[in-house]
Amino acid sequence: MSRLFKRILTRYAALVAAASAFAQPIPVDVAAAFQRARVPLDSVSLLITRADTTAPALLSHRAQTPMNPASAMKLVTTFAALELLGPNYTWRTPVWLDGKVNNGVLSGNLVIQGQGDPKLVVERVWLLLRRVQALGVRQIDGDLILDRSAFAPLPLDAAEFDGEPLRPYNATPDALLINFKSIVMTFTPDPANGVARIEYEPPLAGVQRPDTVTLAADPLAACGDYRAALKADFSAPQRIRFDGRYPLSCAEKVWPLAYSDPASFNARALAGLWQSMGGVLTGTVREGAAPATGATFEVLSPTLTELVRDINKFSNNVMAQQVFLTLGRATALTDNTISASKEAATQAVRQWWQQRIAADAPGGISTNSASWPPPDMDNGAGLSRRARITAASLGRLLQAAYASPLMPELMSSLPIVGVDGTLKRSLARPYSAHLKTGSLKDVLALAGYVHAADGQRYCLVALVNHPNARAAKPALDALVDWTAAQ
């Protein structure tokens, strides 16, 4: 063997050793957990990198393969929003008293213009109407007009994704999104009268709904599936029925439900709330344009930082879509009178990605942007079969966020392993990581930051696309524990 050939072999062996010191194989216990779940490794993408450096990955497996990330896509939407809109960004909901007020009567219309507030929940709508009453209005001698033009017309088919239109996670975005287009039913047992009392929020005008449901005959019966025991019928938008019984052992339960006719929800909710407050409306609730004059008052949303926490901790799909569409209206369009669209939002995020994520590495070091292709966002929430991103791109975003002044806002919005949000029941070591989850049929994902024993923080991305994806949770827990033990 020639000396030159020996030197080449020695050099090659040194390079292999150096590479293996950085990119380790999939840990044995993690690989075994995937095997037990019957998830082949060619259906998995994994990436673990240091959060604060461009050094080679600690673990990389199919990191350049586009995968469906499910709700892990919310990391892109929320970090883009924090950077483009600012952490203190708020949404405004202008209100007009379009007429004169005399002796408690508004001779004209009450106009409410939605501008995309992601959290216009029933309590805040009640406060809005209370401000109207504080201005002396008890009767609206006209119409209640809703201006929803800030968003381009969007489909209202809540069954489009998975055929489950009554699931609150399927609520569709709306410029005037009232209470996530959902009603919340609270069941409180009243044993003395043999019934459970039912409270509805918001009260929907024109909807017949029972105030009570009979308690189960056996007071010691297990709670079990109380929803099935109620034998609910929500098929008719004008009527809610319960043909079953409520188990006493369930104590108080809260059941959120998307309204079966989302197109009429705003009108029913506003009319019902106004009536419940003693208000009178002589006209109807209808859609229309807001006046060109200045609003009588405005209702402000919580800050974006607060809303990002709700979106990521609890994986709220419709709130994420509201933020995504707002990016199109606020950044891609210079004229805020133009309606936001999914296309404009996609363009805004793609432009931000190329300038902010793909162009610069942590510390401002220019690198090969082709390694981090922009994601296919679809609706920005991850509730999609079309959305795609690579583990490498998600890892790059996490590194960029870690180097950003807004890192604390993003990291604190993520569920803490074994503690809260969608990771409250995780079996990985508690407090070891802040991670965004993703879960759809055939999809499981984790992405975020792991706090390791060596004092370092690591970016972890794990994407599973396979019919047995749900069974892979123990494998991802093991991956988190392995990373934390570094």
Looking at this protein, which amino acid is placed at residue 173? P
Give pLDDT tens digits along the chain (486 positions): 455 444 533 443 333 333 333 457 899 999 999 999 999 999 999 999 999 987 789 999 999 999 999 999 999 999 999 999 999 999 999 999 999 999 999 999 999 999 999 999 999 999 999 999 999 999 999 999 999 999 988 766 666 766 677 788 788 999 999 999 999 999 999 999 999 999 999 999 999 999 999 999 888 888 999 999 999 999 999 999 999 999 999 999 999 999 999 999 999 999 999 999 999 999 999 999 999 999 999 999 999 999 999 999 999 999 999 999 999 987 644 555 567 899 999 999 999 999 999 875 444 333 455 689 999 999 999 999 999 999 999 999 999 999 999 999 999 999 999 999 999 999 999 999 999 999 999 999 999 999 999 899 999 999 999 999 999 999 999 999 999 998
Distance in angstroms (rounded) separating the CA atoms of residues 195 and 45? 52
Kindly state the tokens that stand for 105.
């009567």
pLDDT at 156: 61
| Record: fold of 92-149+264-300 | D-tyrosyl-trna(Tyr) Deacylase; Chain: A; (3.50.80)
In Å, what is the CA distance from 456 to each residue of 50, 251, 431, 486?
A: 7, 46, 14, 9
56 DSSP assignment: P
Distance in angstroms (rounded) separating the CA atoms of residues 148 and 326? 13
Distance in angstroms (rounded) separating the CA atoms of residues 335 and 176? 19
CATH of span 23-87+308-484 = 3.40.710.10
Distance in angstroms (rounded) separating the CA atoms of residues 119 and 271? 19
Residues 6+ apart with CB under 8 A from 483: 48, 58, 433, 450, 452, 458, 460
**pLDDT tens-digit readout, 2-21:** 554 445 334 433 333 333 33
Other residues' Cβ atoms within 10 Å of the Cβ of residue 405:
9
pLDDT at 342: 92
Chain mean position to CA 229:
30
- Give the ranges where 277-403 is alpha helix by DSSP (H): 304-314, 317-327, 342-352, 391-402
Domain-by-domain residue ranges, the chain?
23-87+308-484, 92-149+264-300, 178-263
3-state secondary structure of 277: coil
pLDDT at 154: 74
Burial 137-170 (b: 16+ CB within 10 A, else e): bebbbbbbbbbbbbbbebebebeebeeebebbbb
Q: Please, what is the angle between helix 317-327 and helix 304-314, to 10°? A: 140
Residues 6+ apart with CB under 8 A from 361: 54, 367, 399
What is the largest distance, in Å, between two alpha-carbon atoms of the chain? 106
